[in-house]
Amino acid sequence: MNFQKMHVCSGQLSRESARYIAGGASSLNRKVEPDIVFSTGKGCRITDVEGNEYIDYHAAFGPHLLGHNNEQVNNAVLDTIRENLSLIGSGTNELEIRLAQLLCQAVPSLELVQIVNTGSEAVSHAIRLSRAFTGREHVILMLGGYNGWNDDVCRAVMPSLKQLGGRVSREEYPFLPNSAGIPEDNKRKVHIVNFNDLDSVETMLKRYPIACVLTEPVLQNVGVILPGPGYLKGLVDLCEAHGAVCIFDEVKTGFRSALGGYQSVENVKPHLSVFGKAVANGYPLGVIGGKAEIMQLFYHPDPAKRVLIAGTYNAHPVNTAAAIATLEMLEDPEVYRQIERRSKQLYEGLEKLLAEKGIPAVISSNASAFCVYFAGHRPYDLHDLLENVDFPLDRKYRHALIRNGIYHIPIACKQGSVSYAHTENDIHITLTATREALKSI
């Protein structure tokens, strides 16, 4: 099917948006080809302005764990509006107290929390807290990770091998900025090592005054790269041995992996954690939490030691109500069991189809998050991925799926997401469409 004929109205709207929005979209990570303008989403289905319907596995980069416009979540939001639960901006309120209780009950490492608006904000607070707590300024990040847009973490997520250079041992990689305008001093204080490389983390901890080690527990912005055995515990142990703070960025893994986050899957307690995306099923909300002795710096009696936490829209009642409803649904084990059943059905079906086609490919998954890697094995780190994945074939596959009514964002190695809204029949339709798509690549 011809993309241009399918998306005439989308093209017109995109040209109109470029007249008023810098770059044509409010988040330029969304700019992809084909340039489809979507209008509605319900359950696991999304519809574009031409009326074409797709089964969605993009989930807006992951938030829609329960599906688009989940009725229970939406009703909670509507109730806040009907009951005039406004943003007052003075003192606390019952909703934020309830959400904080649910978060601390769900995630064992959370002794205290703060509620913000986005994952990027939560990461910024976590780094600042770490610097205040340790009296140090340097940060260790993981190659292939994404931790938001602030200056300390805004480096290229998937640079080329030419930019990156070969694999190094007990060394660091260059800070390749993902944006103009990042001060050189910030870059000098950030040290990037490969995921699953404890030796290099230890070397950086010995070489520099490290305030924190920040990592996604599973790299889910370059597909799904899982931690090796003992890796996450090793990070916590190294941080404790060297007086640094270990931060898990669970913006993507949190609540999609398990109610207690991926840290509960591995039975590891980081010092600080940040959450976002699935915590409010698509409503904008971020969380930072962790050890009380670190979190108390937000209200330290000595102004010289106090870390600022402020935000007009923090714990907005609409978003807070959405998060409460989401977590209350996730407390029912049957929700996760159903998502697991649908995920298993999809992964096994995809493996069978790819084997039938004779294409070297593997499915790498973390619960309901998955990626089809067109490679002979599951990547272990970014170098492994860049050296072995067939990127052009990945893009052809995604485009073919879109033509057949299955939406994965057409960027190679981006995570797919199964939701509670996907039914057995939706997975069956997906596999049938995938069989057709594979015929064309």
Q: Residues 359, 312: one domain?
A: no
Confidence of residue 28 (pLDDT cuts 50, 70, 90): confident
Give the model confidence (pLDDT) of 206-238 as tens digits. 999 999 999 999 999 999 999 999 999 999 999
pLDDT at 16: 86
Q: Residues 96, 230: one domain?
A: yes
Residue-number span of the structural domain to which 118 is assigned: 71-330
Q: Residues 236, 292: one domain?
A: yes
For the CA atoms of 128, 134, 136, 137, the dihedral, rounded to the nearest 10 degrees, stands at -20
Is the pLDDT confidence value at 22 over 90? no
Q: In this structure, are residues 206 and 242 in contact, taking their beta carbons and an 8 Å threshold?
A: yes
Last residue of a domain, one of 330, 361, 376: 330
Q: Residues 297, 369: one domain?
A: no
Q: Residues 34, 106: one domain?
A: no
Mean pLDDT of the 415-437 span? 98
Q: Residues 47, 101: one domain?
A: no
Last residue of a domain, one of 295, 330, 365: 330
Give the model confidence (pLDDT) of 297-317 as tens digits. 999 999 999 999 999 999 999
pLDDT at 300: 97
Q: Name the amino acid, one letter, at 212.
A: C
- Residue 369 token pair: 């998050």
Question: In total, how many domains does the chain have?
Answer: 2
Query: Cα–Cα distance between 417 and 32 in angstroms, integer?
Result: 18
Q: Residues 198, 300: one domain?
A: yes
pLDDT at 6: 63
**Full-prediction pTM beyond 0.85?**
yes
Last residue of a domain, one of 286, 304, 330: 330
Confidence of residue 1 (pLDDT cuts 50, 70, 90): very low
Give the model confidence (pLDDT) of 94-143 as tens digits. 999 999 999 999 999 999 999 999 999 999 999 999 999 999 999 999 99
Q: In this structure, are residues 49 and 10 in contact, taking their beta carbons and an 8 Å threshold?
A: yes
Q: Residues 241, 169: one domain?
A: yes
Q: Residues 236, 124: one domain?
A: yes
pLDDT at 25: 83
Q: Residues 295, 399: one domain?
A: no
In 120-159, where do the E strands start and end? 138-143
Confidence of residue 11 (pLDDT cuts 50, 70, 90): confident
List the CATH number of the domain containing 37: 3.90.1150.10
Mean pLDDT of the 18-41 span? 88
Which of 212, 150, 159 lies closest to 186 in space, CA to CA?
150
Q: Residues 260, 117: one domain?
A: yes
Is the pLDDT confidence value at 3 over 70? no
- The residue count for the chain: 441
Give the model confidence (pLDDT) of 38-93 as tens digits. 999 999 999 999 999 999 999 999 999 999 999 999 999 999 999 999 999 999 99
Q: In this structure, are residues 126 and 274 in contact, taking their beta carbons and an 8 Å threshold?
A: yes
Mean pLDDT of the 166-180 span? 95
Number of CB atoms found within 10 A of residue 81's CB: 12
Is the pLDDT confidence value at 5 over 70? no
% the chain with pLDDT above 90: 92
pLDDT at 12: 87
One-character DSSP codes across 379-415: -SSHHHHHHH--HHHHHHHHHHHHHTTEE--SSTTPP
Confidence of residue 18 (pLDDT cuts 50, 70, 90): confident
Is the pLDDT confidence value at 290 over 50? yes
Query: Cα–Cα distance between 44 and 58 in angstroms, integer?
Result: 10
List the CATH number of the domain containing 255: 3.40.640.10
Better-scored residue on pLDDT, 362 or 1: 362
Q: Residues 64, 114: one domain?
A: no
